[in-house]
Structure 1
Amino acid sequence: MRSLTRGRLTAREATEPSDLARAQALRTLAFQLAEPDRDRFDDLCTHVLVEEEGDLVACFRILHLTPGEVDRSYSAQHYDLAALRAYDGHMIEIGRFCLHPDRHQASIVRFAWRALAGYVAEHDARILFGCSSFPGTQPEPYADAFALLRQAHLAPDPWAPGPKAPQVFPYAATLDGHVIDMQRAMRSMPPLLRSYLLMGGWVSDHAVVDPQMNTMHVFTGVELHRMPPGRVQALQRA
């Protein structure tokens, strides 16, 4: 990955063990975990650091997959991804995308997406996917957001992930008829998930409840050839 610099921000690939340690420390802080956030996927992934004049303000990791390898992904631990084995094209899983708790500026998120866009272009990916997390394990505060996902953003039938995790919230079945407060829905929608949806992303019909990470998450996919033209142009300019 080529490094990218704009103003005070730089995005670059982790190259040293100390880079990975910094990313893990930021993840631990961002996810408010008692134990260091590290897992077996760290050794399989490319890690991207977003720094502001040397200070780490965001990070994420990337895993390359062919459709036949989709069961090797982190997401496959939580979702039945059998349908995606038939997908035609290179896949990239995005994971552990987080911001420093004190640096939740939209400009950092946009810059991280610019870096990711360049990486995707280099590797000719057809689909991006990952898990988009809601803080906490209680669905009630996010009823409007989940109802909006149900109404407008469910995965196409050919690629829809099935349930696999022991604890799920089947919001598509539960929130039928829910009257959506759009302002509340957008306020409670995680910023990363909003970014995916603006690019034409789609989600699973259920959320996985993950007590270990103290989150609920939905599987999220973006088919790059189906992105809205305006978003494609924005990424090309980036």
Structure 2
Amino acid sequence: MTQVLLQKGRYRARQSQAPEDIKAAQSLRALAFECDDADELDAHCTHILVEDTNTGEVQCCFRMLCLTAHDVSQSYSAQFYDLSALEHFEGAMVEMGRFCTHPKASANPDILRMAWGAMTVFVDANKIELLFGCSSFRGVHTEDYLDSFAVLSARHLAPKRWLPRVKAPNVFRFSRAASGAFNIKRAMRAMPPLLKTYLMMGGWVSDHAVIDRKMNTLHVFTGVEIRAIPPARKRLLRAVVG
């Protein structure tokens, strides 16, 4: 079933589970991630596509997997992180994954606003209380991101009651980067845009990054408790929807 979530100007965001839309999302992911990207979870997720209505081309996509505390172990993130702490979370959760934009549209703020507006509509409609996923740093060289990891360790770690534990065989613990001073400008410049958006919404992260050589990324578990999003940020998200 396909449903339009938001439409402004030449862009439209819609949700779908139709096979042809899943294939369109997978094609954009292959282009953005520079590798074929498909897994068994695609069939169980709702896919959000932001399209240019003039051309019909998909400019941005991501997928949403609605979960409860009882089935959080079935998430994509649970393959890499021990999420047993979240089995005590009361409220609906959604895993947001595979967020990407067309390489030619990556700097277009209108497309990103549409994506976050669509996310807001989806979260509201499904009464979601925790949004989570993995935020990826490009490449697997941890030394490139020591300032970023130090900032995450110092300012943005998950509350202890929700903190993901180490599960993957190859990880980089942020405590290794937090021993000295960090350069905040360099740290923020190296942060992935998706992670910066999560942090602006009051998001928190795991205390380690997973070294994923298959995807050529260093990814960090990231969570956002909806009720903890700062009021000013909520107003900005609602303004896009309105």
TM-score under structure 2 normalisation? 0.94
Q: Secondary structure of the equivalent of 1:49?
A: strand
Are 2:5 and 2:14, in contact at CA under 8 Å, matched by a contact in 1? Answer: yes
* Partner Cα distance (2:105, 2:49) in 1: 14
Q: Which runs of 5+ in 1 are unaligned?
A: none
1:156 is aligned, of 150, 155, 159, to 159
* Partner Cα distance (1:107, 1:151) in 2: 32
Q: Which residue does 2:48 correspond to in 1? A: 48
* Partner Cα distance (1:28, 1:88) in 2: 35
Q: Secondary structure of the equivalent of 2:181?
A: coil
- Aligned-residue offset at 1:20: 1.0
- Aligned-residue offset at 1:15: 4.7
Matching residue's letter, 1:19:
D
Q: Which residue does 1:192 correspond to in 2? A: 194
- Aligned-residue offset at 1:193: 0.4
Q: Is 1:211 aligned to 2:228, yes or no? A: no
Q: How big is the alpha-carbon RMSD for the aligned residues of Structure 1 and Structure 2?
A: 1.1
Q: Is 1:165 aligned to 2:168, yes or no? A: yes
Q: Which residue does 2:75 correspond to in 1? A: 73
Are 2:83 and 2:164, in contact at CA under 8 Å, matched by a contact in 1? Answer: yes
Q: Secondary structure of the equivalent of 1:180?
A: coil
| Count of aligned residue pairs for this structure pair | 235
- Aligned-residue offset at 1:111: 1.6
1:90-109, CA deviations, whole angstroms, 9 ceiling, x for partnerless residues? Answer: 00000100111121123322
Matches within 5 A, 1:125-164: 125-164=128-167
TM-aligned CA distance change 1:100 to 1:154, over 3 Å = same
Q: Which residue does 1:20 correspond to in 2? A: 22
1:65-100, CA deviations, whole angstroms, 9 ceiling, x for partnerless residues? Answer: 011111010000000000000001000000100111
Q: Secondary structure of the equivalent of 2:105?
A: coil
* Partner Cα distance (1:131, 1:119) in 2: 19
Matching residue's letter, 2:138:
P
Q: Is 1:37 aligned to 2:37, yes or no? A: yes
Matching residue's letter, 1:162:
R
Q: Which residue does 1:235 correspond to in 2? A: 237
Q: Which residue does 1:82 correspond to in 2? A: 84
Matching residue's letter, 1:111:
M
Tell me whether 175-184 or 149-158 shows the greater mean CA deviation. Answer: 175-184
Q: Which residue does 1:103 correspond to in 2? A: 105
Q: Which runs of 5+ in 2 are unaligned?
A: none
Tell me whether 130-139 or 13-22 shows the greater mean CA deviation. Answer: 13-22
Identity of aligned residues (%): 50
TM-score under structure 1 normalisation? 0.95
Q: Secondary structure of the equivalent of 1:91?
A: strand
Tell me whether 2-11 or 83-92 shows the greater mean CA deviation. Answer: 2-11
* Partner Cα distance (1:150, 1:235) in 2: 27
Q: Secondary structure of the equivalent of 1:160?
A: coil
Q: Secondary structure of the equivalent of 1:115?
A: helix
Tell me whether 175-184 or 116-125 shows the greater mean CA deviation. Answer: 175-184
- Aligned-residue offset at 1:233: 2.0
Q: Is 1:119 aligned to 2:135, yes or no? A: no
* Partner Cα distance (2:17, 2:113) in 1: 23
Q: Secondary structure of the equivalent of 1:126?
A: strand
